[in-house]
Chain A
Amino acid sequence: GAVVSQHPSRVICKSGTSVKIECRSLDFQATTMFWYRQFPKQSLMLMATSNEGSKATYEQGVEKDKFLINHASLTLSTLTVTSAHPEDSSFYICSASTETNEKLFFGSGTQLSVL
């Protein structure tokens, strides 16, 4: 299947700093990427839909100035958590759909811990 790479896998940062997470589709072009947040033992919560070359579409309740998404190319989308606070600590996962069909493949996730 298609491969989606996500980095870093784990990051610990101080409160007030910004953290950038990268999501890459390695062997296919992803017109659309999705960003999720997942709390322990809970489902995937869609944060935003990222379309190449255009502004991301954020879900209700997700602060666009807090979670900056850039989808600069067909293979790369980034999520920047700005001025991170302890309540932003979570598991963040990206996914991408292939250009030829609708299947969804996930990145390996990023565990963010804000001290």
Chain B
Amino acid sequence: GENVEQHPSTLSVQEGDSAVIKCTYSDSASNYFPWYKQELGKRPQLIIDIRSNVGEKKDQRIAVTLNKTAKHFSLHITETQPEDSAVYFCAASNGNTGNQFYFGTGTSLTVIP
């Protein structure tokens, strides 16, 4: 089955700096890669996603890049703000309705004011 690894497990950045979180996956059949943000005690929220036919996607301060050959994808947050502090999870699936999503172990991001 699919194995998703995520690094780093914790990340601290100064407000205004950029943050990068990286994930790797093992199953070449995976073709959909969402990123979730989870604040303490709350539900994970989908913040951005990318499909395997695209190499990069951007939404304001958030961007995701995908290297399908190397089987890794990354989340980039620019101009970080204190409200970006949360746990971020990457995931991978093969995109079929009802198919399993495989999650990374999470990255706890702290943005220092």
Q: Which residues of B contact A102 (CB under 8 A)?
A: 32, 93, 95-97, 99
Determine the interface band of chain B, counting residues with CB < 8 A from chain A. 20 to 34
Are the C-beta atoms of A32 and B106 separated by less than 8 Å? Answer: no
- The contact of B97 among A31, A34, A43, A105, by CB within 8 Å, is A31
Q: Which residues of B contact A106 (CB under 8 A)?
A: 36, 43-45
Interface residues in A, total, Cβ within 8 A = 30
- The contact of B43 among A34, A98, A109, by CB within 8 Å, is A109
Report the number of A-B residue pairs with Cβ-Cβ less than 8 Å: 64
Cβ of B12 within 8 Å of any chain A Cβ, yes or no, is: no
Are the C-beta atoms of A44 and B93 separated by less than 8 Å? Answer: no
- The contact of B98 among A4, A6, A51, A93, by CB within 8 Å, is A51
With A43-B89, A43-B106 given, is the CB distance from A108 to B43 under 8 Å?
A: yes
Are the C-beta atoms of A42 and B34 separated by less than 8 Å? Answer: no
Q: Can you name the residue of chain A whose Cβ is closest to the Cβ of B4?
A: A43
Q: How far is the CB of B93 from chain A (nearest CB, A)?
A: 6
Are the C-beta atoms of A104 and B41 separated by less than 8 Å? Answer: no
With A1-B46, A43-B103, A103-B34 given, is the CB distance from A32 to B97 under 8 Å?
A: yes
Cβ of B105 within 8 Å of any chain A Cβ, yes or no, is: yes
A61 to B49, CA, bound (A): 30
Cβ of A97 within 8 Å of any chain B Cβ, yes or no, is: yes
- Contact residues of B between 58 and 113, Cβ < 8 Å to A: 87, 89, 91, 93, 95-101, 103-106, 108
With A102-B95, A105-B46, A108-B42 given, is the CB distance from A46 to B100 under 8 Å?
A: yes
With A46-B100, A109-B43, A111-B41 given, is the CB distance from A41 to B108 under 8 Å?
A: yes
Residues of chain A touching chain B, judged by Cβ–Cβ distance below 8 Å, are 1, 4, 6, 31-32, 34, 41-44, 46, 49, 51, 91, 93, 95, 97-109, 111
Residues of chain B touching chain A, judged by Cβ–Cβ distance below 8 Å, are 32, 34, 36, 41-46, 49, 87, 89, 91, 93, 95-101, 103-106, 108
